[in-house]
Amino acid sequence: MEVPALRGLSIEIGRGEHVAVMGPSGSGKSTFLHLAGALDRPTKGRVLIEGRDPNRMSDEELSRLRNELIGFVFQTFNLIPRLTALENVMLPLMIKGVNGEKRVGRAREALELVGLARRINHRPTELSGGEQQRVAIARAIVTNPRIILADEPTGNLDSASAAEVVELLTKLNREFGVTLVVVTHNPEAAAPARRIVKIRDGVVYEEN
């Protein structure tokens, strides 16, 4: 039996916007984010990213689209334990084919931007949860994406670390013009957004 996660949901997000998508567990908000980031393909309907339809792309074209346009930040950080912070941040640049010296320089700059210049040689197990999330954000921005998609970015953090991560993401939007979409159930994580979209049972029921 098919159980649709989204039911005719329609959301348009403009370049440079900061949008929070809120809803209870099982509401479809993570599914929405995965579709928006071309991680999943819709069974019906259409997703357009800067006018391009990911559903018409090959896997190779999809990978290139994600690598060039989109930075992802996940609740569970998704860092590779055996790699240092610097090496984790360099990964998207390796995939993109950026050469070694340039790769190291850009990864260092990204870590400096998130306040981790002194922790670049530490592995994830040697970092706090907040520091690990900042490494994940550095990895998301190192390719200079135009879009950042964050799925419950404060979900595994204490309140102080969560506030720091929210402030950092908001800064990336306001100072660098990055389009920021944050999926969250946390009102404090959603508060800085210029637009809040609330989802329940796969549909938008409120927007402000």
Residue 25 pLDDT grade (very low, low, confident, very high; cuts 50, 70, 90): confident
Does 9 fall in a domain?
no
Does 1 fall in a domain?
no
Domains held by the chain: number: 1
pLDDT surpasses 60 at 53: yes
pLDDT, tens digit, 9 for 90 and up, residues 146-165:
999 999 999 999 999 999 99
Task: Write the DSSP symbol of residue 143.
Answer: T
Task: Write the DSSP symbol of residue 16.
Answer: T
The contacts of residue 2 (CB under 8 Å, 6+ apart) are none
Does 10 fall in a domain?
no
Does 81 fall in a domain?
yes
Q: Which residues is 206 bridged to in the sheet?
A: 198
- For residue 17, the tally of other CB atoms under 10 A from its CB is 16
Please compute the mean of the pLDDT values over residues 169-188 and round it to a whole number. Answer: 95
Tokens of 170: 């908001």
Predicted pLDDT of residue 5: 64
| Least trusted range by pLDDT, from 52-66, 121-135, 162-176 | 52-66
Please compute the mean of the pLDDT values over residues 82-96 and round it to a whole number. Answer: 96
Residue scoring higher pLDDT (147 or 205): 147
Does 3 fall in a domain?
no
* Pairwise CA distance, residues 67 & 156, whole Å: 25
We report the CATH number of the domain holding residue 113 as 3.40.50.300
pLDDT, tens digit, 9 for 90 and up, residues 12-23:
999 999 999 998
Q: What is the DSSP string of 22-69?
A: E--TTSSHHHHHHHHTTSS--SSS---BTTB-GGGS-HHHHHHHHHHH
| 119 closest CA partner among 93, 76, 85, 82 | 85
Does 13 fall in a domain?
no
Q: What pTM does this model have?
A: 0.92
| 138 closest CA partner among 63, 83, 101 | 83
Predicted pLDDT of residue 153: 95
The dihedral through the CA atoms of 166, 126, 80, 91 has a sign that is positive
Q: Could you list the residue range(s) of the whole structural domain that residue 146 is in? A: 18-207
Does 152 fall in a domain?
yes
